């Protein structure tokens, strides 16, 4: 009598992309406020209060190293970034969990704005600093868990590297903050390398479960280290300019 092959079930409890859609909603609402304020007063008030303006940061308005990731310069700018946020964010939030995803987004966006402040004199806004961090995080995550992806890991990594390279080349055009993109990449790599999910299979066949070997403490440590490094870079730059 022929035996039926054992059906192996692998269970993984991922997070629904709530934070991704909250970030999208906040970005859209703030862009509408930008448009409304410019229509009513002739001035983009959210940008004036929260854009990456180097002189204002040097003068002590340090929140401008965080707030630019929630503001955008045009409807096309917003649409492109929100499309990338949804495509990358849903997958990463599912694998990372909601809080770790938010920590990654903030850390990468902050890192991008610090590098932009350090190396670019031009004002800038946009979530692309954080989104480049998401792209880097996806690549690092797949690399660290490549045994789960098998032969697909190579194509995923090549695809992520190609997208990053193409966008960095496009970022050479005037008006695009490529230093911010590079900083976001570095922030995403650092955070995920130290605190991203590291999977292991647990249980007995046929009931297996994917378990993350990194706890919330690892993620918190990764966030602290990433922020500390880029805060140190930012403070050193501010001190030299003052």
Residues annotated as part of the active site: 128, 181
Residue 225, both tokens: 């280290």
Residue 45 neighbours by CB under 8 Å, 6+ apart: 33, 34, 37, 38
Measure the CA–CA gap between 185 and 177, rounded to whole angstroms. Answer: 13
Residue ranges of alpha helices (H) inside the chain are 18-41, 45-50, 54-58, 75-96, 98-119, 128-144, 146-149, 152-170, 178-195, 216-241
Measure the CA–CA gap between 153 and 155, rounded to whole angstroms. Answer: 6
Measure the CA–CA gap between 81 and 128, rounded to whole angstroms. Answer: 6
Torsion angle, alpha carbons of 96, 29, 182, 122, to 10: -160
Residue 125, both tokens: 């806004």
């Amino acid at each position: 009598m022929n035996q039926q092959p054992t059906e192996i079930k692998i269970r993984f409890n991922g997070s629904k992309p709530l934070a991704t859609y909250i970030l999208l909603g906040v970005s859209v609402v703030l862009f509408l406020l930008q448009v409304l304020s410019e229509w009513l007063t002739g001035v983009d008030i959210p940008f004036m209060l929260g854009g990456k303006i180097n002189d204002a940061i040097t003068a002590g308005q340090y929140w401008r190293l965080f707030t630019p990731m929630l503001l955008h310069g045009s409807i096309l700018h917003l649409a492109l970034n929100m499309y990338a946020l949804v495509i990358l964010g849903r997958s990463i939030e599912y694998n990372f969990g909601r809080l770790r995803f938010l920590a990654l987004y903030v850390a990468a966006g902050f890192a991008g704005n610090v590098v932009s402040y350090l190396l670019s004199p031009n004002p800038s806004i946009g979530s692309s600093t954080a989104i480049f961090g998401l792209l880097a995080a996806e690549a690092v995550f797949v690399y660290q868990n490549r045994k789960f992806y098998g032969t697909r890991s190579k194509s995923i990594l090549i695809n992520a590297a190609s997208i990053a390279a193409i966008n960095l080349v496009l970022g050479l055009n005037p008006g695009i903050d490529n230093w911010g993109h590079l900083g976001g990449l570095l922030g995403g790599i650092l955070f995920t390398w130290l605190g991203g999910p590291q999977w292991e299979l647990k249980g007995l066949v046929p009931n297996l479960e994917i378990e993350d070997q990194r706890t919330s403490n690892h993620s918190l440590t990764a966030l602290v280290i990433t922020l500390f490094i880029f805060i140190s870079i930012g403070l050193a730059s501010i001190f030299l300019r003052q």
